[in-house]
A and B are shown apart, each in its own frame.
Chain A
């Protein structure tokens, strides 16, 4: 489709985006941020005004417009840098649900310039337009990746202690990796000190400039992130060093709290939190998917490192309160309300995301991994009972084997009993559960009778 010498803006702008096998979601690059998502959006050829691709999901990122259609497993994308202007039709007599994208090129008469169009027949056009315009202003793709500022670890000491007190850094620390042109000014202890002084000055300048106001922060954000991330790495390596020395228990308290908080924040960042504005009518669905990915540990650093998922670390079950806290933490400032969380949790099972909402008779609500589903637990309990030395189970046995609480173990046993897999034997010593052999006996007895007659 993408002919080399075409002048049709549609073909110039939209390019095929190969999806990774097994994925329905286009991959994003490192600094790309998801901004907006709308469903039932069609792509229109601006020249012929005909719909070329109908009813897909459009995803606007800080760098690109991506259109994909799950049923056709097809995706197209166009880079925002090629867009000169985005607007709606100027014809006030012909209301339209389309956004016109004008491509970069020779300046011509605006209204006769060919455009490629995106149709929002089911709403969402204005939000899209607003967001595209703001992204075109920001031109995020032009910003350099976080600069490796010439910062020595000493210069970014939190307490501003003197460099001389920092002998613990290995030769691999950043100050050595940056190799400035050698002059005598940079030689010796004096040189190192001078270098550190320069770095610290640069950083102070950055702090003052970047935090002057919101606009300034937008412009300098990536630089600041660079500095801070480096700082975090240094801090982490320092902590590790202290840990090896045995650590000082006396500090404890707040310091440990802070460290925990920081660890939590670093480990569980969701860089593209789904929001009501970004996902529109897809909101609760997308939120449920993001939540499932988060709990399964897929998108987190913990998951990437091959550790157990968040949910299985907590026994395959988490109260909604804990989920509310950890999920919101990972989302940073884009909090979701308890109502939205509840809605998303109710969608989990429907979307077959491997977990679901479960409500206990006591009113406690949890998200549980699907391997806690009733049939599976019933079968597991029966197998467990058969494997026991005396052939029976107590709630305590179940609690120890499945690593769940006793209250939950009791409920599991009750469920298995209701399924006819286990039988209750109540005595002074408590309640024992045995594998239910009655159906087998009945069947056997039936066969015997048949044989006799």
Chain B
């Protein structure tokens, strides 16, 4: 099987044009690649791609980039480090050397498909965002956390409990601030730390506090102050 695999990879690199020109062969070739787990997208960068950025090379790369983002989305919520992404793409493209520059060009190539897939500079690292806020469920997750802790959270808590990178937490919180769903208290009750409050959860938070008190766990100060009657 190893011989098959190598030969297929070789063919995918060298004969792509001929394979595509013949629909019957193309169908069979794709079946082969699928069965054996060879990525049929392995065009050489070639002279023209290098010079003008034309040809399928960058489209292929874009497909592989988005694919990796899709696979890792459940772990990172659509935020991936450019260097990590480059390494993963490199693993797929066994022979060609893929640089972060190539990745950037490929991402620019699919810019036509709208916003929402973009590069984000965060300090020294560049992140690739593949989930636009319109489709992100991170905000819901944060609200859920807030619901469980008296309608407020801190960045540190979220990073710890959700196992997210800080950037991801901040991105989500920023949007909620902009939307007026979250309020920032720069001087939290327990000292100088930033506490995000969710006023829309107050009522529910209160009920929670009362229940907590009922079971003898004791409510927090904020909750007590607002408890009715």
Residues of A within 8 A of B92 (CB): 261
Does any Cβ of A come within 8 Å of B159's Cβ?
no
When C-beta atoms are compared, the residue in chain A nearest to B138 turns out to be A405
B32 and A224 contact, CB distance less than 8 A = yes
Chain B neighbourhood of A373, CB < 8 A: none
Q: Mark B131-165, 1 if CB is under 8 A from A, else 0.
A: 11111110110010000000000000000000000
A254 CB to nearest B CB, Å: 7
How close is A136's CB to chain B, nearest CB, in angstroms?
12
Bound Cα distance from A404 to B175, whole angstroms: 16
B3 within 8 A of A: yes
Cβ of A449 to closest chain B Cβ, rounded Å: 39
Residues of A within 8 A of B36 (CB): 228, 231-232
* Contacting pair A332 B23 (CB below 8 A): no
Chain B window 183-196, contacts with chain A (Cβ cutoff 8 Å), 1 for yes, 0 for no: 00000000000000
Contact call A204/B134, Cβ cutoff below 8 A: no
Q: A319-B117, A321-B117, A338-B109 are in contact. Are A265 and B34 (CB under 8 A)?
A: yes
Identify 10 new A-B residue pairs, CB closer than 8 A, beyond the known A33-B27, A320-B114, A405-B140.
Answer: A35-B23, A221-B32, A231-B35, A261-B37, A321-B113, A324-B63, A325-B62, A334-B20, A400-B140, A407-B134
Q: In the complex, how many angstroms separate the beta carbon of B123 from the nearest chain A beta carbon?
A: 24
- Judged by a CB distance under 8 angstroms, whether A201 is at the interface is no
Given contacts A157-B1, A254-B91, contact A395 B181 (CB under 8 A): yes
For A131, the closest partner residue in chain B by CB is B23
Q: Which of A208, A210, A257, A332 contacts B40 (CB 8 A)?
A: A332
- Taking CB atoms, residues of chain B closer than 8 Å to A225 are 28, 31-32, 35
A207 interface residue per 8 A CB criterion:
yes
Nearest-Cβ distance from residue B101 to partner chain A, whole angstroms: 20
Q: Which A residue's beta carbon lies closest to that of B181? A: A430
A to B CB contacts below 8 Å, 25 in the list:
A211-B8, A214-B19, A221-B32, A228-B35, A228-B36, A271-B30, A271-B31, A272-B27, A320-B113, A321-B117, A324-B63, A324-B113, A325-B62, A326-B70, A332-B30, A334-B26, A335-B56, A338-B59, A338-B109, A360-B132, A365-B114, A366-B114, A399-B140, A405-B133, A405-B137
Q: Which residue of A lies closest to B116 (CB)?
A: A364
Give A residues with C-beta under 8 Å from B: 33-36, 62, 134-135, 138, 140, 156-160, 204, 207-208, 210-211, 214, 217-218, 221-222, 224-225, 227-229, 231-232, 254, 257-258, 260-262, 264-266, 269, 271-273, 275, 278, 315, 317, 319-322, 324-326, 328-329, 332-335, 337-339, 341-342, 359-360, 362-366, 394-396, 399-400, 404-408, 410-411, 428-431
Closest to A221 in B: B28
B110-140 with Cβ < 8 A to chain A: 110-117, 130-137, 139-140
Question: CA separation between A45 and B17, bound complex, in Å?
Answer: 37
CA distance A184 to B140 in the complex (A): 70
User: Quick check: A207 and B4 within 8 Å, CB to CB?
Assistant: yes
Residues in B whose Cβ lies below 8 Å from that of A260: 71
Q: Which residues of A contact B180 (CB under 8 A)?
A: 430-431
How far, in angstroms, from A326 to B56 measured CA to CA in the complex? 16
CA gap between A225 and B10 in the complex, in Å: 17
Would B200 and A396 count as touching, CB distance under 8 A?
yes
Q: How far is the CA of A199 from the CA of B37 in the complex (A)?
A: 22
Q: Are A222 and B28 in contact (CB under 8 A)?
A: yes
Known: A324-B62, A366-B134, A407-B139. A207 touches B200 (CB 8 A): no
Please, how many residues of chain B have a CB less than 8 angstroms from a CB on the other chain?
Answer: 75
- B34 contacts across to A, CB distance below 8 A: 232, 262, 265-266, 269, 332
Dominant SS among interface residues on chain B: helix
Does A328 lie within 8 Å of B143, measured CB to CB? Answer: no
Nearest chain B CB to A325 CB, angstrom units? 4
From A34, A359, A406, contact of B23 by CB (8 A): A34
Among residues of A, the one whose C-beta sits closest to the C-beta of B139 is: A406
**Measured between alpha carbons, how far is A374 from B47 in the docked complex, in Å?**
48
Complex CA–CA separation, A390 to B60 (angstroms): 52
- Known A-B contacts A269-B30, A338-B109, A429-B203; the reply to A319 vs B3 at CB < 8 A is no
- C-alpha gap A367/B35 in the complex (Å): 30
Closest Cβ of chain B: how far from A86's Cβ, in Å? Answer: 17
Is the CB of B212 closer than 8 A to any CB of chain A? no
- Which residues of A sit under 8 angstroms from B91, Cβ to Cβ? 254, 257
- B67 within 8 A of partner (CB): yes
A239 to chain B, nearest CB (A): 12
Q: Which residue of A lies closest to B143 (CB)?
A: A396
A62 and B23: CB pair below 8 A? Answer: yes
Structural contact, A138 and B4, CB atoms closer than 8 A: no
Chain B residues whose CB sits within 8 angstroms of the CB of A159 once the complex forms:
2
The B174-226 residues at the A interface (CB cut-off 8 A) are: 175-176, 179-181, 199-200, 202-203
